[in-house]
Amino acid sequence: MRIAAQFAALAVLAGSTTAQLVTSVPGCPAPTYFGICNPYVPGVFIKADEKGDISVLSTWHDGPAEKAGICPGDKIVAVNGTVATGSNWDRLVRELISDSSTPVVLHVQRERHEFEVRVPRIRETTLAARSGEKFVSAISSSTSMPPDYYLHVVPEGVSPDSLRALINFRSLLVQHAGFKQIDGMVPRKPQLAGDYVTGIAAMYDAEHQEAMVAEVSYPSPAFSAGVHPGDLIISVQNLSLAKLTREQLAEALAPSDSKPLSLVLLRSRKRFAVRLTPVTYGEALNGIGRKLTRFGAAPLHCPD
């Protein structure tokens, strides 16, 4: 489950502006911006820094912005002629999204070079489907927000039963004193191109010695193998969860080499086995035509 995917069109790193604009509404299968359900978007995440400058945080894989040559780290000078600054964030959002597929004109600066590019717009649900994913309501550990306030992206095959299992598991963890969502997650996110990944982030319940798949990264061996959020982890390398510590589980899910990982999972009361061969983060990205740059994952045509 990709939490940040709710900001398929745009994102801001500070403040509450985006939280007020991007919501889930009944009957809408995707984020709603300014009342527009499932709008047409260029597929670019943007951010505002402390100075108010706007830059590209990332682009959606195989989306219009990526195909138009936009790269993470690019400075956005203007959107449809509107000067891009943090002070007019709401207006920029309105320029980026649309209820039609008409292109958006981005004035971009990359290092010392400035250029304009017309970027087509497509539905957010279409962007997700291109990666074999779909939008679902959030599974939130927050007590101040309704559980469907935010949206996430999960593999297309994830069933309602799996999502209910995830909700129930997280609810139990939330009841534990002092629990925060990040505290219950293992392992750490990959940071370097050489880090080995399986693609699984799990919630670990130390009290009951249980773990459940919370997120499946795209691209990754787990995503390709059909592992879903909501799968209960029964055993790892033929060892039951009762015989593993949190640290051992984290090491297994973020290994130091490509040794195959055998898991037994439980989904909808049925057990099944999967065998994952870890790959490096760089290899996983390269498999979909991306690479790791100083700005994060980016298309191969982008500067390192």
For residue 102, give the nearest of 116, 115, 119 by alpha carbon.
Answer: 119
Q: Tell me, what's the pLDDT at 267?
A: 96
Instruction: Report which of residues 98 and 275 the model is more confident about.
Output: 275
Whether residue 275 has pLDDT greater than 90: yes
Q: How many whole angstroms separate alpha carbon 278 and alpha carbon 203?
A: 20
Who's near 177: CB < 8 A, 6+ residues apart? none
Q: Which residues pair with 98 in a beta bridge?
A: 40
pLDDT band at 26 (very low <50, low <70, confident <90, very high): low
Check residues 83 and 146 and name the one with the higher pLDDT.
83
**Residue 288, C-beta contacts closer than 8 angstroms, at least 6 positions apart:** 61, 62, 219
Looking from the CA of 167 toward its CB, the CA atoms found within 13 Å total: 13
Q: pLDDT by residue (tens digit) across 211-264? A: 999 889 999 999 999 999 999 999 999 999 999 988 999 999 999 999 999 999
At 162-210, the pLDDT tens digits run 988 988 888 777 766 455 544 557 787 777 899 999 999 998 888 888 9
Task: Look at residue 153 in the predicted model and tell me its pLDDT.
Answer: 81
Comparing C-alpha atoms, which of 17, 23, 52 is closest to residue 36? Answer: 23
Q: Are 119 and 97 in contact (CB under 8 A)?
A: no
How far apart (Å, rounded) are the C-alpha atoms in residues 150 and 71? Answer: 26
Q: Which SS3 state, helix, strand or coil, does residue 267 take?
A: strand
- For the segment 65-71, the average pLDDT, to the nearest whole number, is 95
What's the average model confidence in pLDDT over 64-88? 94
Q: Is the pLDDT of residue 56 over 90?
A: yes
pTM as predicted: 0.83
